[in-house]
Amino acid sequence: IIMNKNPPPQPVNGLPTAQTCFFLLRLPPYSSQAILAERLTEAGGRGSTT
């Protein structure tokens, strides 16, 4: 796990994003573990075709 201390700006309550070609998962700085779990569950159910 690598944490970037100066990540590009993301909405604090936005969904996580991924770049699968780089095995990269971008997580906004959520205020709690419960919000993190909720957002990961929501993002996993949506998927993307882009």
Give the global pTM. 0.64
**Residues 2-27, mean pLDDT to the nearest whole number:** 79
Please state, for a pLDDT cut of 90, what percent of the chain lies above it.
Answer: 14
8-13, Cβ contacts within 8 angstroms, sequence gap of 24 or more: 13/39
C-alpha 24/C-alpha 20 separation (Å) is 6
Let me know if residue 37 belongs to a domain: yes
For 6, the token pair is 């100066």
Q: Is the pLDDT of residue 10 over 80?
A: no
Sign of CA dihedral 35, 47, 18, 13: negative
Let me know if residue 2 belongs to a domain: no
Q: Number of folded domains in the chain? A: 1
C-alpha 10/C-alpha 35 separation (Å) is 15
Q: Is the pLDDT of residue 46 over 70?
A: yes
**Residues 2-28, mean pLDDT to the nearest whole number:** 79
C-alpha 35/C-alpha 13 separation (Å) is 8
Q: Whole-number mean pLDDT of the chain?
A: 80
**Range of the structural domain that residue 34 is part of:** 17-46
Q: 21 catalytic, yes or no?
A: yes
Let me know if residue 40 belongs to a domain: yes
Q: Which of 21, 23, 33, 48 is catalytic?
A: 21
